[in-house]
């Protein structure tokens, strides 16, 4: 007979909250694992009444969705947490934001509505802004046109299974070039594919089709995530859940 953990089972999940947070400044170089550890510590400091999994090694119920690559900043990182006690989403947002280090900012917290499907089901694309210092718009614009005109642009990508050829063009739903304060800006909408196509993969594709090679490191920011519609717009994944929350019941003091 299988062993069973001693003591009563953990309390059930009574509420799910979905959060959007940003990683900015030097924190863009933190790995996803580092960010996850920071979030778990902050949840404890904020005294958020987390629900836990059952078994011999219970874990807080936290689900991450589409983490941005290390080195990229983001205004649209998403996580879902399960609570053992109902709380006001805005109080959770404020308490958690105050408990996180500068550069990880909790921007929004909403309650997941019943029957709305998973958060991951609402995300299949992302919008990116990539600053290219030292690249004039006169070089970036024709490179983007050449990339979009191609049917296939294959780049070599390192995956957990080794090097692999990936079609970067197929993942890009749209791209455009702009200029701000003398710096060329690449805007693009990238679909979620496997393996993932990142901004550096698209830049490798621009080098392949137009020999565009920025003299300085690019600065990538993920501006949004969501489901891509027929117009090329990425919908807000928290939109269907954006409803008023309820107050906490009990005494989690920081929340």
Q: What is the pLDDT of residues 186-234, one digit of tens each?
A: 999 999 998 899 999 999 999 999 999 999 999 999 999 999 998 889 9
125-132 and 219-226 strand pairing: antiparallel
Residue 228 sits at φ, ψ, to 5 deg, of: -80, 130
Tokens of 139: 């070089």
The rounded distance, in Å, linking the Cα atoms of 87 and 41 is 19
Distance separating alpha carbons of residues 131 and 125, to the nearest angstrom: 20
- In the chain, the percentage of residues whose pLDDT exceeds 90 is 75
For domain 15-121+237-241, which architecture applies?
Answer: 2-Layer Sandwich (3.30)
Q: How confident is the model at residue 34 (pLDDT cuts 50, 70, 90)?
A: very high
- Give backbone dihedrals phi and psi of 162, rounded to 5 degrees, phi first: 105, -170
Whether the CB-CB separation of 215 and 203 falls below 8 Å is answered with no
**Half-sphere exposure (Cβ direction) of 63: Cα atoms closer than 13 Å:** 15
In this structure, the number of other CB atoms found within 10 A of the CB of residue 20 comes to 22
Is the model's pLDDT at 109 over the cut of 90? yes
Structural contact between residues 202 and 188, judged by C-beta atoms closer than 8 angstroms: yes
Q: Which residues contact 28 (CB under 8 A, 6 or more apart)?
A: 68, 70, 71, 72, 73, 74, 103
Q: What is the DSSP letter of 174?
A: E
Q: Which has more pLDDT, 169 or 114?
A: 169
- Of 167-181, 216-230, 234-248, which range is least confident? 234-248
**Which residues of the chain does CATH 3.30.70.580 include?**
15-121+237-241
Q: What tokens appear for 231 in the block?
A: 């117009």
For the chain, give the mean pLDDT: 90
Mean pLDDT across 155-165? 85
pTM comes to: 0.88
The CA distances from residue 201 to 19, 204, 222, in Å, are: 28, 5, 15
Q: Which CATH architecture has domain 124-226?
A: 2-Layer Sandwich (3.30)
Mean pLDDT for the stretch of residues 111-136: 90
Q: Which helix (H) or strand (E) holds 162?
A: strand 162-167
Mean pLDDT of 48-59: 88
């Amino acid at each position: 007979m299988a062993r069973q953990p001693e003591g009563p089972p953990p309390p059930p999940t009574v509420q799910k909250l979905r959060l959007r947070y940003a990683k900015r400044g030097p924190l863009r170089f933190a790995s996803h694992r580092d960010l996850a550890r920071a979030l778990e510590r902050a949840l404890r400091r904020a005294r958020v009444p987390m629900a836990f999994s059952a078994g011999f090694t219970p874990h807080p119920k936290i689900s991450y969705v589409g983490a941005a690559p290390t080195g990229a900043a983001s205004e649209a990182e998403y996580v879902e947490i399960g609570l053992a006690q109902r709380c006001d989403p805005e109080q959770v947002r404020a308490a958690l934001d105050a408990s996180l280090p500068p550069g990880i900012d909790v921007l929004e917290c909403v309650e997941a509505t019943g029957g709305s499907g998973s958060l991951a089901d609402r995300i299949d694309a992302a919008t990116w802004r990539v600053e290219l210092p030292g690249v004039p718009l006169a070089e970036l614009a024709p490179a983007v046109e050449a990339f979009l005109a191609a049917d296939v642009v294959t780049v070599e990508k390192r995956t957990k299974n080794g090097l692999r050829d990936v079609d970067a063009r197929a993942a890009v739903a749209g791209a455009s070039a702009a200029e701000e304060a003398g710096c060329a800006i690449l805007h693009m909408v990238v679909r979620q594919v496997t393996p993932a196509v990142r901004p550096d993969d698209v830049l490798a594709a621009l080098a392949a089709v137009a020999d565009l090679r920025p003299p300085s490191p690019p600065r990538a920011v993920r501006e949004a995530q969501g489901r891509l519609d027929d117009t090329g717009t990425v919908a807000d994944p928290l939109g269907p859940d954006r409803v008023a929350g309820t107050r906490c019941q009990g005494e989690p003091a920081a929340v």
